[in-house]
Structure 1
Amino acid sequence: MPELPEVEVTRLSFAGRIAGARIEAVVMGKPLRWPLGCEAQTLTGQHIKTVRRRGKYLLIDLSGGLLLMHLGMSGSVSFGLHLQPVGKHDHFDMVTSLGTLRLHDPRRFGAVVYVSGEDDPVAQKLLGRLGVEPLGDEFDALVFHQALQGRKTAIKQVLLEGQVVVGVGNIYASEVLFLAGIRPATPALRISKPRAARLRQAIRQVLTQAVAKGGSTLRDFSNADGEAGHFQLDAMVYDRAGLPCKVCAAPIKGIRQGQRSTFYCAHCQKP
C-alpha cells in the first residue's frame, strides 16, 4: 500500500507542473471506493491552484473546491502530455491545459472525491480523525509522549492506526521501531518520555529518508513520472526474517500483528 512517503513522492513529482492548469475534461472509468461527489463536468473550466498532502491523501486545491485523492492499496498517479491510451485499470483522467493526471488502480480501493473545502462534512469524515503530521513542526515530543500514555495497545499498532501520528505505514513502522530500539509489541503506555523522544526522532528520520529515496516499491508503486522507489533496498529489518541484523548479526525475527507482518531484532530492540 502506498504510505506517506510514497504519497509525498507522488505529490512532489507533479505538483509544480500542474499548478495553474485549467481543467478541460474529466473522464471516469469503473467506480472507485467512493463516488466523485459531483458530475464530472462540474470540474471542467476550474483551475488547479496547488497540490498538498494530508496523511495519505493528496489535496488538489481548485479555484472552486477541493479534490481529495487516495491511492488505496495499489494505486499510482501519472501526469504528462502524452500518456498511453486508457487501460482497464485507469479509472480517473483529468485532462488539463498542462497535461493529463491519471489514477491507475488495479484493485480499485483508491478514490477521488470532490468537496467544497476541508470543512466540508465529507472531507471532515475522511480527514478529521487523522493524527499529527510527522514531518511538520507541530509534531511535538512531549505531546506525542502524552498521547501514548493513554494507550495500552502495542506501539506498532498505535503507529499504524494513524490517530496519534499519521502516515507511519507497515514498512516504516518496523524500521522506525528498530531505529528507536523499541520492540513492536511494547504497550504504548510503557514508553518513557526519553524513549518517546527517540521514537519521534526515528519517525522523522525514517520518513524523510524514505521520501529522499523515492519511497518503497515492493510491487507496483511508481511516482507520476513512472519512477520506482528504492527505500526497501536499505531496510534494516523489514522483510528480513531469519537474516542477520545489520548492527549485531542476531537473526531478524518475524511475527504477525493485527494481520500485518512485523520484523524486529530481539537484541537491538528492548521491550
Structure 2
Amino acid sequence: MPELPEVEVSRMGIAPHVTNQTVTEIVVRNPKLRWPVPEEIRHIEGQVIRRVSRRAKYLMLETDAGYAIIHLGMSGSLRVLPTGIPPEKHDHVDLCLSSGEVLRYNDPRRFGAWLWQPDQGEHPVLAKLGPEPLSEGFTAAYLQEKAKGKRTAVKQFIMDNHVVVGVGNIYANESLFAAGIHPKREVGKISAQRLALLVDEIKSVLAFAIEQGGTTLKDFKNADGKPGYFAQELQVYGKGGEPCPRCDKPLSEVKIGQRSTVYCSACQT
C-alpha cells in the first residue's frame, strides 16, 4: 500500500499539470472501488482545479464548488497522459483537462477511492484524523499527552491515524529503529525524552523518504511511468535475519497487529 511519502510524491507530481486547469470531463469506467464513486463527483466538470492538497493518504483536488478526494488504496496510481491514449484494463477514472492532458487513475485491486465533498464542511473520511506528522501540530508534548496511561504497543500506537496520520508500517519500523525503541514497548511507559526523540525521528524518516521520492518526478508524465514505491534507503524494514546496521546482530522479525515488524533486540529497548 502506498504510504504517506509515496502519496506526497504523487501530489508533487500531478500538481504542476492539473493546477489552474479546467476539468472538461470526468470519465468513470468502473465506479466499484473501495466505496462506490458518487454521482456527485460530476460536479467537478467545468471547475478550475485551484490546488492539489494532501491529508493523510488522501489527495484533494480543490475547486470553488468542492473537492474530489482520491485514495490510492493498495495498488492505485495516478498518471498525467496526453489525450487519446487508450485506457488499459485497470484504468478506472479519467479527469480530462483543458490543457489537452488527462489525469488517469489506475487501480488493479480497486481498494482505492474517488469521493466528492461540497465546498462547505468536511468529508467523514477526514473528520477524525490526527495531526500530520510533518506539521507543527505533531510535537513531543502532543505525543506525551496522547500516550499517558496507554498500554498499547508503541508501534501500533504511532500507526493509529487518530493519533497521527501517515505513519504506515514501513516508516513505523524505520522510525522506531532510528529512535532505539522496541516496537512492543507499552507507549505509556516510555519516557518523555524518548518520545520526543521518536517524534523527531518520525519527521526525519518521512521527510527523507519524500526527498528520495522526488527523484522519480522526471518520469511522472511518461505514459509508462507509474510512480509508486521508489528506491528507499531502508535500515530494517524487510530485512529480518540480516545483520543490524548498527551492531551486526541478526534483526528479529515478528508480527504486531498482523503487520511485519523488524527490530534489533540489542539496539532497541
Query: Is contact 1:10-1:224 (8 Å) kept?
Result: no
Following TM superposition, by how much is the alpha carbon of 1:149 offset from its aligned partner in structure 2, in angstroms? Answer: 1.5
Following TM superposition, by how much is the alpha carbon of 1:2 offset from its aligned partner in structure 2, in angstroms? Answer: 0.7
The secondary structure found in structure 2 opposite 1:102 is strand
| Letter of the 2:245 counterpart | K
Query: What are the superposed Cα offsets for residues 42-86 of structure 1, whole Å, 9 maximum, x if unpaired?
Result: 322111000000000001101211111000111111113257411
Root-mean-square deviation (CA, aligned residues, Å) is: 1.9
Matched residue, 1:108: 110
Matched residue, 2:95: 94
| Letter of the 2:65 counterpart | G
Q: Does 1:243 align with 2:245?
A: no
Query: What are the superposed Cα offsets for residues 109-137 of structure 1, whole Å, 9 maximum, x if unpaired?
Result: 000101113624xx0x2011111111111
**Which whole-Å CA distance do the structure 2 matches of 1:182 and 1:246 have between them?**
15
Q: Structure 1: 5+ residue runs without aligned partners?
A: none
Matched residue, 1:48: 49
**Which whole-Å CA distance do the structure 1 matches of 2:145 and 2:231 have between them?**
31
Query: Normalized against structure 1, the TM-score is what?
Result: 0.91
Query: What are the superposed Cα offsets for residues 232-269 of structure 1, whole Å, 9 maximum, x if unpaired?
Result: 3x111101011001111010110011111000011110
The secondary structure found in structure 2 opposite 1:42 is helix
Matched residue, 2:251: 252
Query: Normalized against structure 2, the TM-score is what?
Result: 0.91
Alignment CA distance shift 1:118-1:265 (3 Å): farther
Matched residue, 1:10: 10
Query: Is contact 1:19-1:49 (8 Å) kept?
Result: yes
**Which whole-Å CA distance do the structure 1 matches of 2:170 and 2:92 have between them?**
27
> What are the within-5 Å matches in structure 2 for residues 112-191 of structure 1?
112-117=114-119, 119-120=121-122, 123=123, 125-191=124-190
Matched residue, 1:26: 26
> What are the within-5 Å matches in structure 2 for residues 153-232 of structure 1?
153-214=152-213, 226=225, 227=227, 229-232=229-232
Alignment CA distance shift 1:132-1:228 (3 Å): closer
Query: Is contact 2:44-2:67 (8 Å) kept?
Result: no
Alignment CA distance shift 1:184-1:117 (3 Å): farther
**Which whole-Å CA distance do the structure 2 matches of 1:211 and 1:83 have between them?**
32
**Which whole-Å CA distance do the structure 2 matches of 1:60 and 1:155 have between them?**
34
Number of residue pairs aligned between Structure 1 and Structure 2: 261
| Letter of the 1:48 counterpart | I
Matched residue, 1:81: 82
Query: Is contact 1:156-1:185 (8 Å) kept?
Result: yes
| Letter of the 1:212 counterpart | E
Query: Is contact 1:6-1:223 (8 Å) kept?
Result: no
Query: Is contact 1:23-1:44 (8 Å) kept?
Result: yes
The secondary structure found in structure 2 opposite 1:255 is strand
**Which whole-Å CA distance do the structure 2 matches of 1:36 and 1:228 have between them?**
23
Following TM superposition, by how much is the alpha carbon of 1:228 offset from its aligned partner in structure 2, in angstroms? Answer: 5.3
Quick check: 79-88 or 165-174, which moved more? Answer: 79-88
**Which whole-Å CA distance do the structure 1 matches of 2:7 and 2:90 have between them?**
19
Following TM superposition, by how much is the alpha carbon of 1:224 offset from its aligned partner in structure 2, in angstroms? Answer: 6.3
Query: Is contact 1:68-1:113 (8 Å) kept?
Result: yes
Alignment CA distance shift 1:197-1:39 (3 Å): closer
The secondary structure found in structure 1 opposite 2:39 is coil
Identical counterparts, % of pairs: 42
